[in-house]
Chain A
Amino acid sequence: MNTVGATPAATDVAIRARGLVKRFGTLTAVDHVDLNVPRANVYGFLGPNGSGKSTTIRMLCGLLTPTAGEIQVLDLKIPQQAEALRLRIGYMTQKFSLFEDLTVRENLEFLAAVLGVPKAESRRRIEELLEQYNFADRQKQLAGTMSGGQKQRLALAGAVIHKPELLFLDEPTSAVDPESRRDFWEKLFDLADAGTTLLVSTHYMDEAERCHRIAILDHGRLVADGTPGELTAALVGRSLVVHAAAPRRAQQVITAIAGVLSVAQIGNALRVLCADGNATSESIRAKLREAAIEATIETGTPNLEDVFVASTGQRGRPAAERAA
């Protein structure tokens, strides 16, 4: 751990960004984002495609120059001190970026050397990773011939080979089956337990729910920031569950009511998110009675999907994918 020059107050914050802006021509990809990422946390970046997650991560690790704003990562000023930062962070790109025409072991050997793992330790560290990430019997396989889940595991092994203090993961599980995703997250929590700070971007609600803290990005703006518990607690009373005999028809009726942000069918029930709890609940009851649809209305427990809808105005991934 490198704590040279760190003030006691600064050490518990891994990433601090103020007024971060990135423009590409006329497009504003990131728009005045403030971030505080505590150390030894799994911090989630949630947002639809094109919301500025990747751009923000690239600015934080010094690969893109911000148009405006200040960044401090591990007490280093970015992008000025980006070179010094590179030895202390791991970065897993969205697209598989290891060498497909090198074997598992060769990829790790290359990364160990360029990421500054001392030569004497490198061999032992590679053995350790091959074991931990279940590659012991695949170390001579070409990386390009592996499955999506295996590739992601290898990329993670490569990103942590030098035991970085901070790990950036850009949509690490976007091309991975549900079971591999679960395994992958187990590995992430192992790392967080060992004291690594992780910043993970995702568009999966279930993954976001597992983070210590999350930030929701929409069109480049930070629209929500907090622990999943804090964020859902703010919505108590605004989430309703409607059981109706004719759910499709009921959905049409409810969607048309002012103050209803979204209606999603889950089995025979409808999940309704309202801009304002009680008042809307009453108008739903009235409209359904008017349309002669028999229904019961209960208050639901708000989840992160509701938070996402409330702050971005759109639904995340379909419910089927959330089951994973």
Chain B
Amino acid sequence: MKWRRLSAVMVKEVRQLRRDRITLAMILGIPVMQLILFGYAINLNLRGLVAGIADQANTSASRAVVMDMVASGVITPGLSATSPQQLSDALRRGEISVGVVIPPDFEARRFEGREAVQVLVDGSDTVVQGAAAQLAQMPLNAAMKNATATGPATGQISVVSFYNPQRRSALNIVPGLIGVILTMTMVLFTGVAIVRERERGNMELLIATPVSRAELMVGKVAPYVLIGLLQTTVVLALGTWIFGVPVAGSLLDVYAAAMLLIIANLSLGLLISTRAQSQFQAMQMTFFVFLPSILLSGFMFPYAGMPRIAQWIAEVMPLTHFLRLIRGIMLRGASVAELWMDALALLAFIAVMMTTAILRFHKRLD
């Protein structure tokens, strides 16, 4: 790859972009519009939340309570811990959505009618919070009916919501919106990039020059990375200003995650571009990717509530991994390093898409 040729392609893209008023308007218009539209939340019941359980009492009654919670279908046991500290760590890393703590003095608390079970919730997802509230409604008595049929069992379950104590959905929506906007605009911009040159007849000239495939692909994509970061900044700024969304983690991690998603989407767009015959087809394919991303990634509906197959599909989509990253960073104060699995998934996605796009593009007309 030669820097002179690569930079020539980039400069050309920037100059063309500067004269493309519609695209320029979209760069800022889409984030602002969507932020306002999606600022209002959608809540749903859900089931199958991965739960960590710390049963410090370990009595037959406490085991019965846990079994009842599991039987309700709201939670699936995923981690068995010994202390509440372990649970909150796992919660921060995104390994579990709910933590159930049964203190050593469970029996005593239950008889005295004090709070006998504590449920820790990942409040960065309001729907998860809602589901956890269901757990709190469960009668402790029912579980104990056989064991202690005579006792005045009046114990309670208390729910402690981590990271979003006021249960405000904007907190959940805004970080996700960064991902949705980047998915929509980045794929679209590069999706038409190569096709447009083919339609306008520039491609025959380009492939007759010594410009290499990689120089052409990277040069076309690079300017959009900056645009993606600009959009991220707009959503972050407006999200903080209008909705008061906090950034619990480091800003550097937020941008690192955004960068990964931007490049992943740009490479996907390029791949679309090598496949599509017209700009219209490229648009169609973009929406074909965009809709499942919005629906399955966990932006609208929690991942935990989806059937297995939908979850598999979601795992392939960059937005799913980005949502886990950005919610972890912005709301739970986690770092990219702690969420390395999702960062790695995005890197793998980029490598596969970019390679396929370059290989699929031929400097030939046949």
Smallest CB separation, B258 vs chain A (Å): 29
In-complex Cβ contact of A97 among B7, B9, B205, B366 (8 A): B205
Contact with B along A111-128 (1 / 0, CB 8 A): 101111001000000000
Contact with B along A96-116 (1 / 0, CB 8 A): 111111100010011101111
Assess the B364–A65 pair: CB atoms within 8 A.
yes
Q: Given contacts A63-B365, A64-B365, is CB(A100)–CB(B200) below 8 Å?
A: yes
Instruction: Name, among B9, B205, B211, the residue most crowded by chain A CB atoms within 10 Å (CB to CB).
Output: B205
Smallest CB separation, A28 vs chain B (Å): 14
Assess the B7–A113 pair: CB atoms within 8 A.
yes
Question: Would you list which residues of chain B between 189 and 221 have a CB under 8 Å from chain A?
Answer: 200-211
A86 interface residue per 8 A CB criterion: yes
Assess the B205–A98 pair: CB atoms within 8 A.
yes
Residues of chain A with a CB closer than 8 A to B11's CB: 109-110
Assess the B208–A110 pair: CB atoms within 8 A.
no
Question: Would you list which residues of chain A between 64 and 88 have a CB under 8 Å from chain B?
Answer: 64-65, 79, 82-83, 86-87
Question: Would you list which residues of chain A between 188 and 223 have a CB under 8 Å from chain B?
Answer: none
Q: Given contacts A65-B364, A101-B20, A119-B4, is CB(A114)–CB(B201) below 8 Å?
A: no
B47 interface residue per 8 A CB criterion: no
B145 interface residue per 8 A CB criterion: no
Residues of chain B with a CB closer than 8 A to A65's CB: 364, 366
Residues of chain A with a CB closer than 8 A to B5's CB: 113-114
B150 interface residue per 8 A CB criterion: no
Assess the B209–A63 pair: CB atoms within 8 A.
no
B15 interface residue per 8 A CB criterion: yes
A263 interface residue per 8 A CB criterion: no
* Complex alpha-carbon distance, A87 and B210, angstroms: 6
Q: Which residue of A lies closest to B211 (CB)?
A: A114
Q: Given contacts A102-B16, A114-B8, is CB(A95)–CB(B208) below 8 Å?
A: no
B308 interface residue per 8 A CB criterion: no
A58 interface residue per 8 A CB criterion: yes
Q: Given contacts A64-B365, A110-B11, A110-B12, is CB(A86)–CB(B204) below 8 Å?
A: no
Residues of chain A with a CB closer than 8 A to B7's CB: 113
A281 interface residue per 8 A CB criterion: no
* Dominant SS among interface residues on chain B: helix
Residues of chain B with a CB closer than 8 A to A97's CB: 201-205
Q: Given contacts A86-B209, A93-B205, is CB(A102)–CB(B12) below 8 Å?
A: yes
Residues of chain A with a CB closer than 8 A to B12's CB: 99, 102, 106, 110
Residues of chain A with a CB closer than 8 A to B365's CB: 58, 63-64
Q: Which residue of B lies closest to A102 (CB)?
A: B15
Question: Would you list which residues of chain B between 7 and 29 have a CB under 8 Å from chain A?
Answer: 7-9, 11-12, 15-16, 19-20
* Complex alpha-carbon distance, A111 and B19, angstroms: 19
In-complex Cβ contact of A111 among B203, B209, B364 (8 A): B209
Q: Which residue of A lies closest to B219 (CB)?
A: A114
A61 interface residue per 8 A CB criterion: yes
* Complex alpha-carbon distance, A93 and B204, angstroms: 7
Q: Given contacts A93-B201, A97-B202, A113-B7, is CB(A106)–CB(B208) below 8 Å?
A: no
In-complex Cβ contact of A114 among B15, B209, B363 (8 A): B209
Q: Which residue of B lies closest to A122 (CB)?
A: B4
Smallest CB separation, A153 vs chain B (Å): 16
Residues of chain A with a CB closer than 8 A to B205's CB: 91, 93, 97-98
Q: Which residue of A lies closest to B208 (CB)?
A: A91
Interface residues of B (CB under 8 A from A): 4-5, 7-9, 11-12, 15-16, 19-20, 200-211, 363-366
Given A98-B202, A113-B5, A114-B210, 12 additional A-B pairs, CB 8 A: A63-B207, A63-B363, A79-B364, A86-B209, A91-B205, A93-B208, A98-B205, A102-B12, A106-B12, A109-B8, A109-B11, A110-B11
Q: Could you write out 28 A-B pairs with CB less than 8 Å apart?
A: A63-B204, A63-B207, A64-B364, A64-B365, A82-B363, A83-B210, A86-B208, A86-B209, A86-B210, A89-B208, A91-B208, A93-B205, A95-B201, A97-B202, A97-B204, A98-B202, A98-B205, A99-B16, A100-B200, A101-B16, A101-B20, A102-B15, A109-B11, A110-B8, A110-B12, A113-B4, A115-B209, A115-B210
